[in-house]
């Protein structure tokens, strides 16, 4: 089975880790040397059902025997069923599904085009630490200058505003007395930093790559109000938070807010199938099909996988498991926080958890965070950090199928790693 003889060939555009992964099962990955790892990142935060989910694979095999691909101009049962399912499980104001995309970035771009097309307005608000994808438009709208640094400015219609990062509040406020100043101040950005014509605000309900920032529920209440007042389409990027990650089907349910649109990808593919979509209210449906459609959008095999994934997630106990196991991990991490002074904060919802690492003076400790992530593999863990190695948060986001006893092993290994580092 081994593929050891071809490691990092010169033909690869960039080098990747030396480890060759050979096999995955549930929360575990196995390399070509036979080492076992618990994947705390669910691959790229997308394998919500873990590696090699048999039910999804059997469904895809069946679909592959019938039809693998057809142009999205025609109907297929798989895509029709997926559209119906997505409407069934999403907030009830979202009644239309645009499935002709195959990546999160393209789903986000579609949502923005829909908002612009509907309103005739141009500008888009996003958050400082957002990660919305890597196409030109999404790089331009994402926060963090390092993502945009080598590229010429392409989009003048985006403006970033401070995120609701209560631990390190941009406005030096405290959450119990701030009155949600970070929402209030958006009015100033609209007035002074935009052309005044805001089509949309796009936001990850919990920041995926920006440090696992969990806004207070009140933030979304106020934000919804602000968007209504300015007739701004509120777009939830649920690409990481969707499909059970928070213990609810969507973060919108957890925060009890109705966005005007929602974008989905990653976890919808269950065990790794490439599928994405934009969900929207009826009023944003005017965008012509030819204005946003991609060859592998409305993918028949991926849609079949997605339908099965949703069916599994709807079974009794599935989402409850996320809440129960997530709480167990959070509690264990809180104990570790008391022991290890370099842990400044443990935050999360369900199985979307971040651990913030600091120096003695409470400054972010990026070096130590990266060191923890690097050493994790020696302890049988795969950990990923925020901002691709430029941040001070490591993330615990295992597949949602993780059991309590597997979570115990995860926490045991993590504690051992942190003890040795201490």
Q: Applying CB under 6 A, which residues contact ligand PLP?
A: 103-105, 108, 131-133, 204, 208-209, 237, 239-240, 265
Q: Quick check: 78 and 63 in contact, CB under 8 A? A: yes
Q: What share of the chain is helix, strand, coil (3-state, %, to 5)?
A: 40, 15, 45
Tell me the closest approach of the beta carbon of residue 265 to ligand PLP, in angstroms.
5
Q: Which helix (H) or strand (E) holds 335?
A: helix 318-339
Q: List strands edge to edge, sheet with 343-349.
A: 343-349, 352-357, 393-396, 384-385
Select 296 or 340, whichever has its Cβ closest to ligand PLP: 296
Which one-letter DSSP state was computed for residue 239?
Answer: T
Select 72 or 103, whichever has its Cβ closest to ligand PLP: 103
Tell me the closest approach of the beta carbon of residue 106 to ligand PLP, in angstroms.
7
Select 29 or 235, whichever has its Cβ closest to ligand PLP: 235
Q: Is 272 left (phi over 0), alpha (psi -120 to 50) or beta?
A: left
Tell me the closest approach of the beta carbon of residue 251 to ligand PLP, in angstroms.
11
Select 132 or 310, whichever has its Cβ closest to ligand PLP: 132
Tell me the closest approach of the beta carbon of residue 342 to ligand PLP, in angstroms.
26
CA dist 57 → 30, 47, 318, 372 (Å): 19, 13, 19, 34
Tell me the closest approach of the beta carbon of residue 310 to ligand PLP, in angstroms.
18
Tell me the closest approach of the beta carbon of residue 276 to ligand PLP, in angstroms.
6
Report the helix count and the strand count for the chain, using DSSP H and E: 14, 15
Q: List strands edge to edge, sheet with 277-280.
A: 96-98, 277-280, 261-264, 233-237, 198-203, 123-127, 158-161
Which residue sits closest to ligand PLP, CB atoms considered? 104
> What are the structure tokens assigned to 288, written together?
């012509």
Select 45 or 379, whichever has its Cβ closest to ligand PLP: 45
Select 60 or 262, whichever has its Cβ closest to ligand PLP: 262
416: helix, coil or strand? helix
């Amino acid at each position: 089975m081994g593929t050891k003889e071809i490691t990092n060939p010169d033909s690869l555009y960039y080098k990747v880790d030396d480890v060759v992964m050979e096999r995955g099962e549930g929360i575990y990955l196995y390399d070509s040397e036979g080492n076992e790892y618990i994947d705390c990142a669910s691959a790229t935060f997308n394998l919500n059902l873990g590696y090699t989910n048999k039910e999804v694979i059997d469904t895809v095999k069946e679909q592959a025997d019938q039809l693998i691909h057809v142009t999205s101009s025609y109907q297929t049962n798989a895509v029709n069923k997926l559209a119906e399912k997505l409407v069934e499980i999403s907030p009830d104001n979202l009644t239309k599904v645009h499935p002709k995309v195959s990546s999160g970035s393209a789903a986000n771009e579609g949502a923005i085009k829909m908002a612009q097309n509907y309103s005739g307005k141009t500008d888009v608000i996003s958050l400082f630490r957002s990660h919305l994808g890597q196409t030109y438009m999404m790089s331009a709208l994402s926060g963090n200058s390092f993502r945009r640094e080598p590229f010429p400015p392409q989009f003048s219609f985006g403006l970033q505003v401070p995120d609701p990062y209560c631990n390190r509040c941009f406005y030096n406020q405290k959450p119990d007395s701030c009155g949600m100043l970070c929402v209030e101040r958006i009015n100033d950005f609209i007035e002074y930093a935009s052309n005044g014509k805001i089509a949309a605000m796009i936001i990850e309900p919990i920041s995926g790559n920006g440090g696992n920032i969990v806004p207070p529920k009140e933030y979304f209440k106020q934000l919804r109000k602000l968007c209504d007042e300015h007739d701004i389409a509120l777009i939830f990027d649920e690409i990481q938070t969707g499909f059970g990650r928070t213990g609810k089907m969507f973060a919108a349910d957890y925060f009890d807010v109705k966005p005007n649109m929602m974008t989905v990808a990653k976890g919808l593919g269950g065990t790794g199938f490439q599928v994405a979509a934009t969900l929207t209210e009826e009023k944003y449906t005017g965008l012509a099909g030819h204005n946003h459609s991609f060859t592998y959008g409305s993918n028949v095999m991926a849609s079949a996988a997605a339908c099965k994934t949703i069916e599994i997630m709807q079974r009794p106990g599935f989402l409850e498991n996320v809440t129960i196991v997530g709480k167990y991990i959070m509690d264990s991490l809180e104990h570790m926080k008391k022991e290890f002074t370099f842990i400044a904060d443990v935050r999360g919802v369900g199985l979307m958890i971040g651990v913030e690492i600091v120096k003695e003076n409470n400054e972010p400790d990026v070096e130590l965070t990266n060191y923890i992530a690097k050493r994790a593999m020696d302890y049988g863990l795969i950990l990923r950090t925020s901002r691709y190695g430029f941040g001070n948060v490591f993330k615990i986001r295992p597949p949602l199928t993780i059991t309590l006893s597997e979570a115990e092993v995860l926490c045991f290994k993590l504690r051992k790693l942190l003890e040795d580092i201490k």
